[in-house]
Structure 1
Amino acid sequence: MKISWCSLLLLLVSCAPRQDAWERVSSNPTMPTLRRYIMDHPGTEETQIARLHLERLSARAALAAGGIAPLQLHLQAYPAGAHAAEVRGRLMVLRAARALAEDTPWALLRFLYLHPDSKETAAVRARLEETWWKQLQADPSAHGLKQYLEVFPTGGHETEAQELLAHVIFEKLGPEPDPELLRMFVLNHPKSPTGKRALALLREWERSEVLVSGETTTVVELLRRGESLPAELVRVSFAAHLEAALWSFDLDLLGQLCDAAPRQCDAQLPAAIQYWKKMAPQARDRLAETVRAAGPFRPMPAFRTLEVALNVEDLHTVWVALRSLSHRPEPRAFALLLSRAGHPDSAIAWPAADACRAWLARWPSRGAVLAAFELRRRQNRRDQFPSLIQTALLAEFLQRPLPVA
């Protein structure tokens, strides 16, 4: 019994300092005294009460301070405290006010990233849309406009932003855009005014490419439509196809060419065609044989046969086809030879380059126009090996310095 009373007495004596300390702290609680009590007396019932007092005083001090940093410090210490929601709401209000005061895209975006669901989000988002758009109008960039459209895909300036983006990208294509780049641009911006402008340029390129590498029937159809065409390309293309039709003595094709472009046709040729058609069949056939036999390359295979021969595995067949094409007057023959001059296999590329030079030597005035066009078409592709080789060949013929950039 004496031992029990002694134990109780010792317990009361040991609790007396803690009780005295708690009475002193609770009578006038402050944040420093509460922290000291919690540190000196952990794990007691009074400690839990002290923590609640400390959280309340910390929230009150953070709210009274009127700054962002005290509120952040309180939330770091008490993320799930009784006053966390109130402090977090005040923090969002202050951050929104700061972002609106700074009025920069980065500050506004930062707020939306930190508080995507706050009450102030709508106002900040609306301000961001206007501020960002004004900045992009003053200093447009493709990257910035794409980011803007990702954030505001259906915003109030969506149409203007799409057009400005199209304009910025189109300007980067240069004064003479590559046809392939134009084609991609038109696919990405089909409805914008700049896209329609690019489409018109693309159609001009496509019509020019028909004159340069199209078959005779395709060229005839193009000439019949009476669309705007480069005069020099029309002149050399018409002369080349007319020459090919004469060597083959194709009276129907000669008539179609003269009907499609009467200004390019010799005034006496329609009458000659009519005269040849009125000849007796046997006499006309003998005349045709005489003309074909006098051709520059005998026998002259059909053009499509030569195209097929270029793609076979037998090198001898390919070389014969290249040599035959070097005697064909059509621009398409030159285009095929030039394309093979950039072949990765040197056994094809070198003979093709020699055949291309032979073609240019046979028709130098015609070749000058076609070479200049092909050089323009490849000016933005010099980072590709085939185009680099072809550019060197064309620059050599035109006696121009090889581009270095």
Structure 2
Amino acid sequence: MMEFRKTLTQNEIEKGILRWEDAEDCLLRRIIPQTLVFDLVFEGQRLDHLTVEWEKRELYIGEPLMKAIAGSEVALSIAPEKGSDVLARLVDPSEKIMIRKRLSSNEHKHRFLKWYVREDDLYRRMFPDSEPFTIDLGGRQIQGQAPNFEKRNLIIGEAIRFFNPGDNLLLRWSPEAETPTLLISREEIQSSFANDAMTVLRGLVTRLISRPLKEFNEGEVKGLIVLLDENKNLWERLSRVNDENEKLKERISTLENVFEQFSRNSFFGCKHDFEEWVASHVNMLEKGIRLLNREYSITLPGDHDFRIDLLCQDRRGTLLAAEILFNPNAEDLLEALKVLEWAKHNLDSVAADISQGKLKANAIRGMIIANKERPELVEQCLQNSVKLCVVNSGCVIDVLE
């Protein structure tokens, strides 16, 4: 969910005017409707017919803004299902910071939360240090991982499936927990507006006809008529788009059911067939990698003999150790992670051995290739920073990293 935030200056509070910088124009134009007037719901109080002076980059809000405490933040966002309304709220400087966002399909699929460059400052304030913390999702608690500010994501893991794509999420720190706990909850935004597309238009007409006719000049009347026509046309187009959207949803649902049935019919009857297919199609798992060695034998502490299924090299020259799991279970997963961990700690000897002393590698990374996706498999791969490739069939590959 798009949100504009800024700390109010004393001058803004005294005059009741919100100001912003040139670089923030783009974000505000996406939040504030590009109409002559718009309505703002400020801390539950409705303010009608506000206008923006885009040249001066000013929005006069008036008395509600004048009641703010020095150092407070104001947050502007789009009101779901409320037409041209904009929501505004004040964040007291003594309050813990909160983040509102909409969960995307990509985030839901890859089990993380992601943000944009413009939100870097907000998330750095949310996570000022790297102390261990717990994540609470609807009462279920999991160990949290420090956010990756280079990739701009926060790995959640399988627990994120508690939510659905499109849900509005609220992130905040728990004030009551003894240890740092990040609460992630679904935010239910109540709406007293009817769901049909003409509600906003009818409300606009009602407000217009409530004004005495003598207050309008000829130019304003013509402008209002044009505005009403545009709104009517837009809502008609929106209705048609919604109808098409419902039809597309039905088709997608049908395709998903067909795909699910198709993916269940695995092309691999046994582990040997699966291993042979993977070894012959490593380029389908990641572009530019080449196979160096198969079934590389190693000895783990305790004189236990294991093997690294595939040793490859990616296009950057980094070694890649891959373990192949057929119908993976907890024991197989644990062994695979031990093997990959051993490879990381014995990088020099592995590189020298497979290249007869000619190859000197600077790094090695791990990959697990499985024919089925399981929650514990995904969770462990995310926690251990191991790339996971799930080969559902001979042509459908799901990659998580």
If the length of structure 2 is used for normalisation, what is the TM-score?
0.19
More helix by share: 1
Higher RCO by CA contacts (8 Å cutoff, separation 6 or greater): 2
In proportion to residue count, which structure has more strand?
2
Query: TM-score, normalising length from structure 1?
Result: 0.19
